């Protein structure tokens, strides 16, 4: 039977097809923002206004979480992210960046490594819990003018998940997509590049039906959790790689996702704006697979052993004489410095991000993604312009220099609770046993959790307890849940009960 559509419906369908076709042919530059960077000190501190909205097509705020009681979306740092009780209105200021770039999409990421998987597994398995999560997500996104949701469940079936997660994740995505589309919003997801995780966690054809964009986390393939050095984001396999290590490279991951059923035009290739670092066992063995049983010393900004932002590494190379090497046949550099704890770091530099952007373009990918914008050289300390890595890979992918984006008419951005009188915020209360200051506070006696402290409106603190996922500990310097070996390597005066 022939189906007849009214003219208005035909025009709508033609418009929709054109919009979809256009969105798949335009390049993307997805910029994740780790909001905890606001708590860093000195030149490492990075707040919402430090983001350059002109260099990204999508900015993603990391992270929101999931309530283990109601299964609604959860604001993880109310003081930093909301306006209530004289909070800092991070969400509103973040989406307000769209006024400086009329084409910018601002999304909220939910999940992340710190959240684990157990509560997401329970939510995805239950229709009522899925509805609670989806309805609350739509409400939060609309309230703060986000353009969509980035689903960053790490990972279905893993880290406390269940075998049924693989199918339930597709159901969750389908229901999310339907609700988001009804409100003119988009759905993206951050996914693993590891073969074992992909096989266990993802129904690729099912996911492809519902995602507008897939952000491939093509990094953290190696790190100080292993007793030897390697590159965390190698484009191709190292010739000596055998066994599972032969799969731990960008090229394998990209082709595995595409061959599994994900359209290349929906994949944004993730590039790390940081390095993974080790302490070498021997000062004379500093190539790939060099014995290294301890994480490298923490960077002065990021304060996480085994990790340095590019903004920390490039200064070491430019000003402190760290040696840069590159293995024949590989595309990415590493750097090491024997006098400073025999540190060895694998990372990406301007040359390697050009190669990766060219690779992404040649393979028909949607564009590039970075984790995360606040560890690029955002002050321009090492280059002639700030955000040099991000700008370089976008220009390479597009084949042209960046141009100034169109702006929107200036509109007032809510930076306070509109239900409160416009009176000055009360002074910070005196420190107590849980809250030394507003925001994130460690528990000196137990690093399995931390406290989130905001003003209660009555001269005191409102305290929320946040647990780190199993297998991690709270790093009191970096203010993140971190690998136990990284936290314990900080020294015996940190987390003595847990180390």
List active site positions: 154
Q: How far is CA 97 from CA 26, 146, 343, 374, 414, in A?
A: 21, 11, 38, 16, 13
Which token pair is 54? 């002109």
Q: How far is CA 118 from CA 174, 191, 217, 294, 367, in A?
A: 20, 17, 21, 29, 32
The whole-angstrom separation of Cα 397 and Cα 417 is 41
Cis peptide before 372 (omega within 30 of 0): yes
């Amino acid at each position: 039977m022939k189906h007849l559509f009214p003219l208005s419906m035909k025009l709508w369908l033609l418009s929709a097809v054109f919009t979809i076709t256009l969105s798949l042919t335009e390049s993307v530059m997805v910029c994740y923002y780790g909001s905890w960077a606001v708590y860093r000190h000195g030149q490492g501190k990075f707040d919402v206004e430090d983001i350059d909205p002109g260099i990204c097509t999508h900015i993603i705020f990391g992270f929101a979480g999931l309530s283990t009681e109601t299964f609604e979306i959860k604001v993880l740092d109310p003081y930093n992210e909301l306006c209530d009780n004289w909070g800092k209105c991070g969400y509103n200021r973040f989406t307000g960046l769209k006024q400086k770039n009329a084409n910018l999409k601002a999304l909220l990421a939910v999940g992340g490594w710190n959240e684990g998987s157990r509560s997401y597994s329970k939510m995805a398995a239950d229709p009522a819990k899925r509805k609670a999560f989806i309805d609350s997500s739509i409400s939060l996104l609309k309230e703060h003018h986000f353009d969509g949701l980035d689903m960053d469940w790490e990972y279905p079936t893993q880290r406390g998940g269940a075998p049924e997660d693989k199918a339930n994740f597709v159901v969750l995505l389908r229901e999310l997509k339907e609700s988001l589309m009804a409100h003119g919003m988009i759905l993206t997801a951050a996914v693993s590049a590891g073969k074992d995780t992909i096989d266990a966690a993802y129904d690729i054809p099912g996911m492809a039906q519902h995602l507008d964009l897939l952000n491939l986390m093509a990094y953290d393939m190696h790190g100080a959790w292993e007793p030897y050095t390697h590159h965390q984001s190698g484009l191709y396999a190292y010739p000596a790689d055998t066994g599972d290590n032969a799969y731990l490279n960008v090229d394998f991951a990209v082709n595995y996702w595409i061959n599994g059923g994900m359209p290349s035009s929906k994949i944004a290739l993730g590039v790390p704006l940081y390095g993974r670092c080790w302490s070498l066992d021997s000062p004379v063995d500093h190539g790939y697979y060099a014995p290294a049983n301890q994480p490298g010393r923490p960077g002065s900004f990021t304060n996480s052993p085994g990790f340095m932002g590019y903004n920390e590494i490039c200064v070491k190379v430019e000003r402190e004489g760290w040696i840069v090497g590159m293995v024949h046949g590989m595309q990415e550099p590493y750097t090491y410095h024997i006098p400073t704890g025999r540190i060895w770091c694998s990372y990406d530099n301007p040359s390697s991000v050009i190669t990766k952007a060219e690779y992404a373009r040649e393979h028909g990918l949607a564009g590039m993604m970075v984790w995360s914008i606040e560890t690029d050289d955002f002050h321009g300390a090492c280059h002639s312009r700030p955000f040099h890595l991000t700008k370089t890979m976008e220009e390479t992918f597009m084949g042209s220099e960046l141009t100034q984006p169109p702006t929107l008419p200036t509109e007032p951005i809510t930076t306070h609770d509109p239900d409160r009188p416009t009176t000055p915020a009360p002074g910070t209360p005196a420190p107590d046993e849980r809250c030394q200051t507003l925001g994130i506070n460690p528990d000196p006696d137990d690093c399995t959790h931390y406290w989130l402290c905001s003003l209660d409106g009555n001269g005191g603190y409102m305290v929320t307890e946040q647990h780190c996922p199993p297998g991690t500990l709270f790093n009191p310097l970096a203010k993140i849940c971190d690998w136990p070996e990284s936290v314990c390597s900080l020294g015996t005066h940190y987390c003595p009960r847990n180390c």
